[in-house]
Amino acid sequence: MEEPIVKVEHLSHRYSIQWAVRDISFEIPRRGIYGLLGSNGAGKSTTMNIISGVIKQTEGQVFIKGIDARKRPVDAKRHIGFLPQKPPLYGDLTVEEYLIHCARLRWVADKDIIPAVDEVLAKCGITHFRKRLIKNLSGGYQQRVGIAQAIVHKPDLVIFDEPTNGLDPNQIMEIRHLIRDIAKDRTVILSTHILTEVQAVCDHILMIEEGKLVFMGTVDEFDNYIIPNSLYVSMIDPPVADELAKIEGVLGVEELGNRNFRIRFTEAQEVIDQIVKLSAANDWRLSEVRVEKSSLDNIFAELSKKAH
Protein backbone atom coordinates (compact mmCIF):
# COMPACT_ATOMS: atom_id res chain seq x y z
CA MET A 1 0.00 0.00 0.00
CA GLU A 2 1.23 3.51 -0.83
CA GLU A 3 2.43 5.53 2.17
CA PRO A 4 0.41 8.65 3.00
CA ILE A 5 2.06 11.84 1.82
CA VAL A 6 1.96 13.23 5.35
CA LYS A 7 1.39 11.36 8.59
CA VAL A 8 1.45 13.30 11.84
CA GLU A 9 1.35 11.36 15.12
CA HIS A 10 0.75 12.93 18.52
CA LEU A 11 2.51 16.12 17.54
CA SER A 12 3.10 18.64 20.32
CA HIS A 13 5.25 21.72 20.43
CA ARG A 14 6.21 24.02 23.26
CA TYR A 15 7.89 27.43 23.04
CA SER A 16 9.69 27.82 26.40
CA ILE A 17 6.77 27.12 28.75
CA GLN A 18 3.80 27.64 26.40
CA TRP A 19 2.32 24.77 24.37
CA ALA A 20 1.51 26.00 20.85
CA VAL A 21 0.45 22.59 19.48
CA ARG A 22 -0.98 19.81 21.60
CA ASP A 23 -1.28 16.17 20.54
CA ILE A 24 -2.26 16.60 16.90
CA SER A 25 -2.60 13.47 14.73
CA PHE A 26 -3.72 13.26 11.11
CA GLU A 27 -2.95 11.64 7.78
CA ILE A 28 -3.08 13.09 4.30
CA PRO A 29 -3.39 10.07 2.04
CA ARG A 30 -3.73 11.49 -1.45
CA ARG A 31 -3.67 14.49 -3.76
CA GLY A 32 -5.82 17.51 -3.13
CA ILE A 33 -5.77 20.88 -1.43
CA TYR A 34 -5.95 20.75 2.34
CA GLY A 35 -6.77 23.93 4.22
CA LEU A 36 -5.30 24.32 7.68
CA LEU A 37 -7.82 26.65 9.22
CA GLY A 38 -7.61 28.40 12.56
CA SER A 39 -7.76 31.82 14.14
CA ASN A 40 -4.62 33.85 14.78
CA GLY A 41 -2.33 32.09 17.22
CA ALA A 42 -4.15 28.73 16.83
CA GLY A 43 -0.92 26.91 15.97
CA LYS A 44 -1.03 26.80 12.15
CA SER A 45 2.43 28.20 11.48
CA THR A 46 3.98 26.05 14.17
CA THR A 47 2.41 22.91 12.62
CA MET A 48 3.53 23.89 9.12
CA ASN A 49 7.03 24.80 10.24
CA ILE A 50 7.36 21.38 11.89
CA ILE A 51 6.03 19.46 8.85
CA SER A 52 8.42 21.45 6.64
CA GLY A 53 11.35 20.71 8.94
CA VAL A 54 12.00 24.37 9.82
CA ILE A 55 11.59 23.69 13.55
CA LYS A 56 11.81 20.44 15.49
CA GLN A 57 8.80 19.32 17.47
CA THR A 58 8.90 18.86 21.23
CA GLU A 59 6.97 15.58 20.99
CA GLY A 60 5.43 13.30 18.37
CA GLN A 61 6.37 12.25 14.87
CA VAL A 62 6.02 13.48 11.31
CA PHE A 63 6.40 11.12 8.35
CA ILE A 64 6.69 12.39 4.79
CA LYS A 65 5.97 9.52 2.38
CA GLY A 66 6.89 7.17 5.20
CA ILE A 67 10.19 8.96 5.99
CA ASP A 68 10.60 9.99 9.62
CA ALA A 69 11.26 13.73 9.21
CA ARG A 70 13.17 13.93 12.47
CA LYS A 71 15.51 11.03 11.77
CA ARG A 72 16.01 11.67 8.03
CA PRO A 73 15.28 15.40 7.57
CA VAL A 74 17.20 15.78 4.29
CA ASP A 75 15.39 12.85 2.65
CA ALA A 76 12.03 14.12 3.88
CA LYS A 77 12.70 17.68 2.67
CA ARG A 78 13.35 16.51 -0.89
CA HIS A 79 9.61 15.85 -1.13
CA ILE A 80 8.53 19.18 0.35
CA GLY A 81 8.22 22.72 -0.96
CA PHE A 82 7.47 25.46 1.55
CA LEU A 83 6.32 29.04 1.30
CA PRO A 84 6.55 30.51 4.81
CA GLN A 85 4.39 33.42 5.91
CA LYS A 86 7.27 35.76 5.06
CA PRO A 87 8.68 34.51 1.73
CA PRO A 88 12.46 34.04 1.94
CA LEU A 89 13.24 36.36 -1.00
CA TYR A 90 16.49 38.18 -1.78
CA GLY A 91 15.50 41.58 -3.17
CA ASP A 92 18.87 42.29 -4.78
CA LEU A 93 18.82 39.14 -6.94
CA THR A 94 16.93 38.90 -10.19
CA VAL A 95 14.05 36.45 -10.28
CA GLU A 96 16.12 34.06 -12.37
CA GLU A 97 19.25 34.28 -10.19
CA TYR A 98 17.17 33.64 -7.12
CA LEU A 99 15.38 30.61 -8.57
CA ILE A 100 18.66 29.11 -9.80
CA HIS A 101 20.01 29.54 -6.27
CA CYS A 102 16.89 27.85 -4.81
CA ALA A 103 17.08 24.96 -7.29
CA ARG A 104 20.71 24.35 -6.23
CA LEU A 105 19.75 24.44 -2.57
CA ARG A 106 17.07 21.83 -3.27
CA TRP A 107 19.49 19.38 -4.88
CA VAL A 108 18.30 19.81 -8.47
CA ALA A 109 21.06 18.30 -10.68
CA ASP A 110 23.16 20.98 -12.48
CA LYS A 111 22.00 19.95 -15.96
CA ASP A 112 18.33 20.16 -14.87
CA ILE A 113 18.51 23.59 -13.22
CA ILE A 114 17.83 25.84 -16.23
CA PRO A 115 14.95 23.68 -17.57
CA ALA A 116 13.44 23.54 -14.04
CA VAL A 117 13.68 27.33 -13.64
CA ASP A 118 12.19 27.92 -17.12
CA GLU A 119 9.31 25.59 -16.30
CA VAL A 120 8.55 27.21 -12.98
CA LEU A 121 8.80 30.75 -14.41
CA ALA A 122 6.19 29.79 -17.01
CA LYS A 123 3.96 27.99 -14.51
CA CYS A 124 3.93 31.00 -12.17
CA GLY A 125 3.48 33.53 -15.00
CA ILE A 126 6.72 35.40 -14.33
CA THR A 127 8.86 34.55 -17.37
CA HIS A 128 8.75 38.19 -18.52
CA PHE A 129 10.18 39.28 -15.16
CA ARG A 130 13.07 36.82 -15.10
CA LYS A 131 15.72 39.58 -15.34
CA ARG A 132 13.92 41.95 -12.93
CA LEU A 133 15.28 42.53 -9.40
CA ILE A 134 12.89 40.94 -6.92
CA LYS A 135 12.70 44.15 -4.86
CA ASN A 136 11.20 45.94 -7.89
CA LEU A 137 8.24 43.55 -8.21
CA SER A 138 4.75 44.18 -6.80
CA GLY A 139 3.56 42.20 -3.77
CA GLY A 140 1.54 39.82 -5.95
CA TYR A 141 4.50 39.05 -8.21
CA GLN A 142 6.85 38.67 -5.26
CA GLN A 143 4.40 36.09 -3.93
CA ARG A 144 4.56 34.29 -7.28
CA VAL A 145 8.35 34.16 -6.94
CA GLY A 146 7.84 32.77 -3.42
CA ILE A 147 5.57 30.09 -4.87
CA ALA A 148 8.05 29.37 -7.67
CA GLN A 149 10.86 28.68 -5.17
CA ALA A 150 8.53 26.25 -3.36
CA ILE A 151 7.96 24.12 -6.48
CA VAL A 152 11.21 24.46 -8.44
CA HIS A 153 12.39 21.00 -7.32
CA LYS A 154 8.99 19.40 -8.18
CA PRO A 155 8.07 18.27 -4.67
CA ASP A 156 5.12 15.94 -4.02
CA LEU A 157 3.92 18.13 -1.17
CA VAL A 158 3.74 21.92 -1.16
CA ILE A 159 2.99 23.89 1.98
CA PHE A 160 1.80 27.50 1.81
CA ASP A 161 1.50 29.55 4.99
CA GLU A 162 -1.17 32.24 4.51
CA PRO A 163 -0.32 32.60 0.79
CA THR A 164 -2.74 35.44 0.04
CA ASN A 165 -2.04 37.52 3.14
CA GLY A 166 -1.58 41.20 2.37
CA LEU A 167 -2.53 40.94 -1.32
CA ASP A 168 -5.23 42.97 -3.07
CA PRO A 169 -8.42 41.21 -4.29
CA ASN A 170 -7.15 40.76 -7.87
CA GLN A 171 -3.84 39.35 -6.71
CA ILE A 172 -5.71 37.03 -4.32
CA MET A 173 -7.77 35.61 -7.21
CA GLU A 174 -4.63 35.08 -9.29
CA ILE A 175 -2.71 33.37 -6.51
CA ARG A 176 -5.68 31.09 -5.73
CA HIS A 177 -5.86 30.15 -9.39
CA LEU A 178 -2.14 29.36 -9.40
CA ILE A 179 -2.45 27.24 -6.25
CA ARG A 180 -5.29 25.21 -7.81
CA ASP A 181 -3.14 24.70 -10.88
CA ILE A 182 -0.15 23.57 -8.80
CA ALA A 183 -2.38 21.11 -6.92
CA LYS A 184 -3.31 19.29 -10.13
CA ASP A 185 -0.26 17.08 -9.82
CA ARG A 186 0.71 17.24 -6.17
CA THR A 187 -0.65 17.66 -2.64
CA VAL A 188 -1.03 21.18 -1.27
CA ILE A 189 -1.52 22.23 2.33
CA LEU A 190 -2.32 25.87 2.89
CA SER A 191 -2.99 27.70 6.10
CA THR A 192 -5.44 30.51 6.47
CA HIS A 193 -7.66 32.15 9.04
CA ILE A 194 -10.15 33.11 6.31
CA LEU A 195 -13.08 30.72 5.84
CA THR A 196 -13.91 31.95 2.36
CA GLU A 197 -10.36 31.17 1.29
CA VAL A 198 -10.83 27.54 2.29
CA GLN A 199 -14.20 27.41 0.51
CA ALA A 200 -12.70 28.93 -2.63
CA VAL A 201 -9.57 26.85 -2.84
CA CYS A 202 -9.60 23.67 -0.72
CA ASP A 203 -11.18 20.21 -0.93
CA HIS A 204 -10.44 19.29 2.67
CA ILE A 205 -10.24 21.15 5.95
CA LEU A 206 -8.13 20.60 9.01
CA MET A 207 -9.17 23.00 11.70
CA ILE A 208 -6.90 23.86 14.61
CA GLU A 209 -7.95 25.79 17.66
CA GLU A 210 -5.70 26.50 20.63
CA GLY A 211 -3.17 23.99 19.37
CA LYS A 212 -5.69 21.13 19.02
CA LEU A 213 -7.16 19.56 15.91
CA VAL A 214 -10.92 20.10 16.21
CA PHE A 215 -12.08 19.00 12.76
CA MET A 216 -10.84 17.10 9.72
CA GLY A 217 -13.00 16.35 6.68
CA THR A 218 -14.18 17.67 3.34
CA VAL A 219 -15.40 21.23 2.88
CA ASP A 220 -18.96 19.87 2.46
CA GLU A 221 -18.71 17.82 5.64
CA PHE A 222 -17.48 20.91 7.43
CA ASP A 223 -20.41 22.89 6.11
CA ASN A 224 -22.86 20.20 7.24
CA TYR A 225 -21.13 19.49 10.51
CA ILE A 226 -23.58 21.48 12.49
CA ILE A 227 -27.04 20.25 11.58
CA PRO A 228 -29.45 23.08 10.83
CA ASN A 229 -31.80 23.64 13.72
CA SER A 230 -33.81 26.71 12.81
CA LEU A 231 -36.37 27.96 10.33
CA TYR A 232 -36.72 31.47 8.99
CA VAL A 233 -40.45 32.27 8.75
CA SER A 234 -42.17 35.37 7.33
CA MET A 235 -45.90 36.06 7.51
CA ILE A 236 -47.97 39.04 6.48
CA ASP A 237 -50.47 38.68 9.38
CA PRO A 238 -48.53 36.65 11.94
CA PRO A 239 -49.89 35.61 15.32
CA VAL A 240 -48.09 36.54 18.54
CA ALA A 241 -44.83 34.63 19.07
CA ASP A 242 -46.38 32.63 21.97
CA GLU A 243 -48.86 31.14 19.52
CA LEU A 244 -46.01 29.86 17.33
CA ALA A 245 -44.16 28.55 20.38
CA LYS A 246 -47.12 26.24 21.15
CA ILE A 247 -46.69 24.34 17.84
CA GLU A 248 -45.58 20.75 18.43
CA GLY A 249 -41.86 20.30 17.85
CA VAL A 250 -41.03 23.99 18.28
CA LEU A 251 -38.25 24.57 20.82
CA GLY A 252 -38.16 28.35 20.73
CA VAL A 253 -39.27 31.41 18.78
CA GLU A 254 -37.24 34.55 18.22
CA GLU A 255 -38.91 37.67 16.81
CA LEU A 256 -36.66 39.21 14.17
CA GLY A 257 -38.90 42.24 13.53
CA ASN A 258 -40.75 43.12 10.36
CA ARG A 259 -43.04 40.07 10.88
CA ASN A 260 -40.13 37.66 10.53
CA PHE A 261 -39.32 34.87 13.01
CA ARG A 262 -36.55 32.39 13.71
CA ILE A 263 -38.05 29.14 14.95
CA ARG A 264 -35.88 26.43 16.50
CA PHE A 265 -37.17 22.89 15.98
CA THR A 266 -36.60 19.21 16.67
CA GLU A 267 -37.71 17.96 13.23
CA ALA A 268 -37.88 20.48 10.39
CA GLN A 269 -40.48 18.93 8.11
CA GLU A 270 -43.05 18.29 10.86
CA VAL A 271 -42.83 21.89 12.04
CA ILE A 272 -43.02 23.25 8.48
CA ASP A 273 -46.14 21.13 7.81
CA GLN A 274 -47.77 22.48 10.98
CA ILE A 275 -46.92 26.09 10.15
CA VAL A 276 -48.33 25.77 6.64
CA LYS A 277 -51.57 24.15 7.92
CA LEU A 278 -52.07 26.64 10.76
CA SER A 279 -51.30 29.59 8.49
CA ALA A 280 -53.97 28.47 6.01
CA ALA A 281 -56.51 27.82 8.79
CA ASN A 282 -55.86 31.13 10.62
CA ASP A 283 -55.04 33.35 7.65
CA TRP A 284 -51.52 34.23 8.85
CA ARG A 285 -50.57 34.65 5.16
CA LEU A 286 -47.28 32.78 5.18
CA SER A 287 -44.91 34.36 2.65
CA GLU A 288 -41.62 32.53 3.32
CA VAL A 289 -40.40 29.50 5.24
CA ARG A 290 -36.90 28.04 4.88
CA VAL A 291 -34.41 25.99 6.83
CA GLU A 292 -31.48 28.12 7.90
CA LYS A 293 -28.16 26.54 7.01
CA SER A 294 -25.36 27.41 9.38
CA SER A 295 -22.84 29.63 7.69
CA LEU A 296 -19.23 28.56 7.82
CA ASP A 297 -18.66 31.43 10.21
CA ASN A 298 -21.19 29.98 12.65
CA ILE A 299 -19.60 26.55 12.35
CA PHE A 300 -16.20 28.10 12.96
CA ALA A 301 -17.53 29.74 16.14
CA GLU A 302 -19.19 26.46 17.26
CA LEU A 303 -16.07 24.36 16.68
CA SER A 304 -13.94 26.93 18.47
CA LYS A 305 -16.26 26.61 21.48
CA LYS A 306 -16.00 22.80 21.35
CA ALA A 307 -12.22 23.03 21.53
CA HIS A 308 -12.37 24.79 24.89
Using CB under 6 A as the criterion, which residues of the chain lie in contact with ligand ATP when the complex forms?
15, 18, 20, 38, 40-46, 193
Q: Which is nearer to ligand ATP, 278 or 307 (CB)?
A: 307
Q: How far is the CB of 38 from ligand ATP (least distance, A)?
A: 5
Three-class DSSP labels, the chain: CCCCCEEEEEEEEEECCEEEEEEEEEEECCCEEEEEECCCCCCHHHHHHHHCCCCCCCEEEEEECCEECCCCHHHHHCCEEEECCCCCCCCCCEHHHHHHHHHHHCCCCHHHHHHHHHHHHHHCCCHHHCCCEHHHCCHHHHHHHHHHHHHCCCCCEEEEECCCCCCCHHHHHHHHHHHHHHHHHCEEEEEECCHHHHHHHCCEEEEEECCEEEEEEEHHHHHHCCCCCEEEEEECCCCCHHHHHCCCCEEEEEEEECCEEEEEECCHHHHHHHHHHHHHHHCCCEEEEEEECCCHHHHHHHHHHHHC
Nearest distance from C-beta of residue 25 to ligand ATP, angstroms: 17
Closest to ligand ATP by CB, 96 or 197: 197
Report the nearest approach of ligand ATP to the CB of residue 14 (Å).
9
C-alpha distances (whole Å) from 107 to each of 101, 103, 153 are 10, 7, 8
Shortest CB 213 distance to ligand ATP, Å: 12
Question: For residues 69 and 117, which CB has a smaller minimum distance to ligand ATP in the complex?
Answer: 69
Shortest reach from residue 210's CB to ligand ATP, in Å: 9
Question: Which CB sits closer to ligand ATP, 56 or 135?
Answer: 56
Shortest CB 256 distance to ligand ATP, Å: 35
Taking the complex as a whole, how short is the minimal distance between the CB of residue 44 and ligand ATP, in angstroms?
3
